[in-house]
Amino acid sequence: MPDPFPAIKRELQRRRSEDGNPAIQLFGRRFISDQTVPELLSEFLLLATSKKRIAKSIIDKGHVFPDIDVLKNWPPETSLAYAPKSRLNLKLFALIGASKLETRHKSHRDHYRELLQRIQERIIASGSAGKEEILKTLENLFLGFQRVGGQRTWCAQSFLPIHPEMLAAETLWNSTKAKKAEDWDEITERFNHFFTSNQHRFLARGGELLYLQLCNLLRQSSDIIRTWCKDVNAGLDEREMTPALLADALSEGLNKAVNSCPSTVGALAKFIDTGAELETAKHTDYLDGEPRYVQCGWCPAETWPESLLFAAELLHLCDATIDPVERIYLLETACAMQVLRSLCAQSARYADHGDIIRQGSGALNYVWAFSDPEGRSDTIKRISRRSVNSIQRLIQKAIRHPDILKNIKEQKQREGISWKDPYKEADRRYGHKLFLTLSKRLGMIVPRRGKGARFVLTDHLLRYLVLTTIRPGERMTYDTFKKQVFQRHGMAFDDEHLRGACLWCGTRPLTTLGDNIDKWLSDMLSSAGMLVQLSDSCSMVENPFTTGRENQQ
């Protein structure tokens, strides 16, 4: 069984405990299909930018990671805790007007009107624009930053994470308990009764788990990291292989990414949330004068190799001088791709595939065989479909590891007649169906419905691969690019790697598929302006964006 990081107590033999689910026992607490792609990043950045606590050590807001010494000397049986802001006033101001009528409680509407009045009183209008017009403009501005949750109650929605002041904790409205609520003051004074902030329904711990993976990586020794990188030809540089340097660079990059909009927008968001009316934040963000902390879960300690690749990819995206909103979308993709990679890499460690698992696979011992988006080759489509099916079987088998089955058996003995087999839910929401669902959300598996699921690339995914595999402003040969993508993601495009995919899937490899089997990939790169043709036999794939560090010099 995986050792947890942090080394906290887990109740694996109790079905109703958070860690009783067989998939959580393998992958950590937790990845689940209910969490959207944007909210993986939002939760990750919320934790990264919030005040954090490890036992008596406090990591102030703005410090993305704890010090390396703290990570290496993490107290046993101690969870990471963080203190996110609820930002109810900001959400109410921006989102209640676009929410469903039936979700707007009278107390919400009354406080909304009071909040508008207070903000309007603080506005100093000049020129032709009146206060009401300015107020409406502000509402429309922040409504435009709505990212996900349009069908939810206003307080459960999320903003585009372009500033720390727009990152908010999950807050769910308990509508059944609120029928007798009189006013907003009563609601906020009894915050834990009328709202739920620890259910993890939408911010479902996936972002927390990704953050813990990085913390776990940063406590590894440089020697172990360098040895692994050399063994798998990871293509990382000194900064990316040295935990102290990586932590500093990643902290700087993530802070830059989450402060990508003009500071005026952040100042306006802060004013709307706490400047016009402070009492709400006092009740929602504090308890008896102390910050309300949320306890994080755990990640498997052995997952640091895939976390290293994730860290390097985040760093490349943060270094590149690209549109700030596009960077956010690419970071969302990075988080989702890391979830998929984590599911496969961890499953490969625990599924009994014998020698086959290392034949023809990437650095993390799995393969995704890609076909061209148009599906012109029936042979490649069949290989890709087998690959999708093999990955699902890999994950399904891994969460049925003998150690996990032993825990499930003890659950059954303890629960008796009330026991229910947990594997149906584990497969559907946490296991191989999660892989399928998340891949389809990314457009990486088609069709979205029906039979014949296969791996394909979209223009966005290809752009993501170039920007994360190649450092900003650099280039590598087309063949090297394919090999690096294969090593990091297990993605097979050409004759050599597709034949390896056949081996990994346990089927007879074809003698040859032809030299032009990956022409569709080079055509996509060329159309994106990222392929430089040096000669008939040599092409270079280029990351055309410079680094912010270069621009500062």
Domain-located, residue 43 = yes
Residues 6 or more apart whose Cβ sits within 8 Å of residue 366: 344, 345, 347, 348, 357, 391, 394, 490, 504
Q: Clarify whether residues 336 and 364 are in a common domain.
A: no
Is the bond leading into 447 cis (omega within 30 degrees of zero)? yes
Residue carrying the six token digits 């959300």: 441
Which tens digits make up the pLDDT trace of 369-407?
A: 999 999 899 999 999 999 999 999 999 999 999 999 999
Domain-located, residue 130 = no
| Structure-block tokens of residue 453 | 């699921």
Domain of 208 in residue numbering reads as 4-50+61-82+204-262+297-340
| Structure-block tokens of residue 430 | 């946490």
Q: Clarify whether residues 235 and 308 are in a common domain.
A: yes
User: What is the spatial distance between Cα 241 and Cα 233, in angstroms, rounded to a whole number?
Assistant: 12
Residues in the chain: 553
Element housing 540 (H / E): strand 539-542
| Cα dihedral across residues 263, 269, 270, 276: positive or negative | positive
* Single-letter amino acid, residue 533: Q
Candidates 2, 58, 61; CA nearest to 29 is 2
Q: Clarify whether residues 374 and 308 are in a common domain.
A: no
Query: Which residues share a beta bridge with 177?
Result: none
Q: Structural domain tally of the chain?
A: 2
- Kindly state the average pLDDT of the residues 169-173: 94
Given a cut of 60, is residue 273 above it in pLDDT? yes
**pTM score of the predicted model:** 0.95
Candidates 155, 29, 28; CA nearest to 100 is 155
Helix (H, G, I), strand (E, B) or coil at 529: coil
Q: Clarify whether residues 463 and 496 are in a common domain.
A: yes
Given a cut of 60, is residue 354 above it in pLDDT? no
- Kindly state the average pLDDT of the residues 241-248: 98
Confidence class for position 553, pLDDT limits 50, 70, 90: very low
Q: Clarify whether residues 467 and 538 are in a common domain.
A: yes
User: What is the spatial distance between Cα 315 and Cα 420, in angstroms, rounded to a whole number?
Assistant: 44
Candidates 438, 334, 345, 399; CA nearest to 33 is 438
- Kindly state the average pLDDT of the residues 453-481: 97
Which tens digits make up the pLDDT trace of 397-442?
A: 999 999 999 999 998 888 776 678 899 999 999 999 999 999 999 9
Domain-located, residue 14 = yes
Domain-located, residue 522 = yes
Q: Clarify whether residues 306 and 381 are in a common domain.
A: no
User: What is the spatial distance between Cα 497 and Cα 368, in angstroms, rounded to a whole number?
Assistant: 10
Domain-located, residue 129 = no
User: What is the spatial distance between Cα 93 and Cα 115, in angstroms, rounded to a whole number?
Assistant: 8
Q: Clarify whether residues 243 and 332 are in a common domain.
A: yes
User: What is the spatial distance between Cα 18 and Cα 42, in angstroms, rounded to a whole number?
Assistant: 22
Domain-located, residue 144 = no
Position 356 scores a pLDDT of 54
Helix (H, G, I), strand (E, B) or coil at 148: strand
Q: Clarify whether residues 327 and 359 are in a common domain.
A: no
Helix (H, G, I), strand (E, B) or coil at 475: strand
Domain-located, residue 252 = yes
Alpha helices in 190-303 (DSSP H): 191-194, 206-218, 222-232, 238-241, 243-258, 263-270, 279-285
Q: Clarify whether residues 26 and 73 are in a common domain.
A: yes
